[in-house]
Amino acid sequence: MSEVIELEQLTKTYESGFFASQDVHALKTLDLSVHHGEIFGYLGPNGSGKTTTIKMLLGLIFPTSGTIKILGREDIDSPDIKQRIGYLPEGAYYPDFLRGDEILRFYGQLYQMGGKALERRIDEVVELVGMGHARRRLMKGYSKGMRQRIGLAQALMSDPDILILDEPTTGLDPLARKEIRDILAGLRDAGKTLLISSHELAEVELISDRVGILYQGVLQTMGTLDELLKDRSTTFEIENLASDKLKALSDAGIDAEDHTDDRVLLKIPASMPVYDAIALCKAHDAQIVSMAPKRETLEELFVRIVGSAEAGTQPETPEPAAAG
């Protein structure tokens, strides 16, 4: 599997304080790789180093140490590498006095496109992002979702191999999110490589092939969703039960996850056979209403990983996958 983006021992340290006397470590020896044709979810809380990484990939800021390779090359600032990268920043601004297709014409010209080829490409990308009907409207008449689509369209102008998207669905309504998600999945299916930085974990979980979770400049974990979301369990919904019986179940390894007025949700650990759990419930007069298999969500994994990192403990997940 070929690597499209490779980061090796990437470190970024900012000088802070009145006499630049303090060092702020935004990234610490980051090893990360993004494979060809995948959607990579780059996650982390605010200030974890995601934007710093993206800015270094785009040559907007410079590493303190370490190497960046894009498409196997270290000269990431060269025009022919940038020609193959599309970028959508978070909360991008587009002037109100321009029309949708004028914005695309401007960005297309920066890719050294012109004439009929440029107009043809504008036609293609506005159709791709579903903006054909509104391309001649002024930006001030655009909704947030429409602006985001135009932003995505400008990132696609050069038909890039790599797309770097910062919060592509944040602030959009559910319908617009679904449409953007479908577009991104379609791009992946067309062979593009996508690096998505987002706080919308449910969205990322739906479309990502692999994810990496960053916290305080350190990659805490990286892998496919199947590798990372291993914590599978079963939940039993039971009729309300006396507290002594719940305690007895807890002692046997079945914890109550949630209570409502007349129901209790029990979490059956993956290590316990379901038939044993049923037998235990029966032994304690617990009336089972429903049973459901459950897999840990990306959000739960994220909270667990970041929580462990904050507490300085080792999270119970597979070891971070090695770069590459």
Partner 1 sequence: MSAPDSLRGIWPIAVYTWREGIRKKTLIGFLILSLLVIFGSMFMTAFMAGIDYSPSGEINIDVESKLVKDVCVSAIAIFGVLIAIFTSASVVPQELENRVIYTVLSKPVRRYQYLLGKFLGVQMIVIANLLLMSVLFFIALWIKEQIIPTLLLWSTLLTYFQFLIVSSFTFAISCAATSSVLPTIAGLFIYITGNLTNYLNDVFKRSSGSDNPFESAVAEVAFYLYAILPNLRNFDLKDQILYLAPNDPPAGILIPNLILYGVLYALSGYLLAFWLFRRKEL
Kindly state the smallest distance separating residue 147's Cβ from partner 1, in Å.
13
Nearby residues of 320 by Cβ (< 8 Å), 6 or more positions away: 219, 220, 221, 222, 223
Q: Which of residues 17 and 174 has its CB atom nearest to partner 1 in the complex? A: 17
Interface size with partner 1, residues (CB under 8 A): 31
Q: Which of residues 16 and 290 has its CB atom nearest to partner 1 in the complex? A: 16
Which string of x and - marks every residue 244-283 that binds partner 1 (by CB under 8 A)?
----------------------------------------
C-alpha span between 19 and 192 (Å, rounded) = 45
C-alpha span between 250 and 274 (Å, rounded) = 15
Check residue 117 for interaction with partner 1 (CB under 8 A).
no
Check residue 47 for interaction with partner 1 (CB under 8 A).
no
Residue 174 one-letter amino acid: P
Check residue 302 for interaction with partner 1 (CB under 8 A).
no
Q: How many CB atoms lie within 10 A of CB 115?
A: 7
Check residue 79 for interaction with partner 1 (CB under 8 A).
yes
Residue bearing tokens 């630049």 = 20
Can you tell me which of 18, 19, 93, 275 binds partner 1, judged by CB under 8 A?
93
Which residues partner with 68 through β-bridges? Answer: 7
Reduced to 3 states, what is the DSSP secondary structure of residue 66? strand
C-alpha span between 222 and 228 (Å, rounded) = 8
Check residue 25 for interaction with partner 1 (CB under 8 A).
no
Q: Which stretch binds partner 1 (CB under 8 A): 110-118, 217-225, 229-237, 269-277?
A: 110-118
C-alpha span between 71 and 160 (Å, rounded) = 12
Reduced to 3 states, what is the DSSP secondary structure of residue 211? strand
Check residue 162 for interaction with partner 1 (CB under 8 A).
no
Residue bearing tokens 């914590």 = 231
Check residue 215 for interaction with partner 1 (CB under 8 A).
no
Q: Which stretch binds partner 1 (CB under 8 A): 29-37, 78-86, 167-175, 284-292?
A: 78-86
Check residue 109 for interaction with partner 1 (CB under 8 A).
yes
Q: Which of residues 88 and 298 has its CB atom nearest to partner 1 in the complex? A: 88
Kindly state the smallest distance separating residue 84's Cβ from partner 1, in Å.
9
Kindly state the smallest distance separating residue 122's Cβ from partner 1, in Å.
14
Phi, psi of 7 (to 5 degrees): -115, 125
End-to-end CA distance of the chain: 9
Token duo for residue 23 = 């060092």
Under the rule (CB under 8 A), what is the footprint of partner 1? Answer: 55, 58-62, 79-80, 82-83, 85, 87-93, 95, 97-98, 106-107, 109-112, 114, 154, 158, 164
